Homo-oligomer: A and B are copies of this chain.
Amino acid sequence: MQISARNQLKGKVTAVTLGSVMAEVVVTLADGQEIVSAITRNSAESLNLKAGDEVMAIIKSTEVMIGKEA
């Protein structure tokens, strides 16, 4: 399935922290930069996410801000 979200960054799961309702997932990109995702615990469990998994970090473009040194 093709998704309209313009940002789909390949990486590897390096940490999964399961909370009561939410979960934090850390994905390391090929160049070593990290992306942190906060999804529901149920999502993390239904995707059976664990360290080492090859995944995509998916981000809708309207959720991306830009910062520029003044």
Contacts and interface: CB of A to CB of B under 8 A. Distances in A.
Interface of A: 1-10, 17-25, 27, 29-31, 33, 35-40, 42-44, 46-47, 49, 53-70
A37 B62 CA distance: 6
A24 B42 contact: yes
A3 to B, nearest CB: 5
Q: Please state the number of chain copies in the assembly.
A: 6
A40 B60 CA distance: 9
For the residues of A in contact with B, the DSSP-based class is strand
B35 A68 contact: no
B37 A21 contact: no
Contacts of A54: 68-69
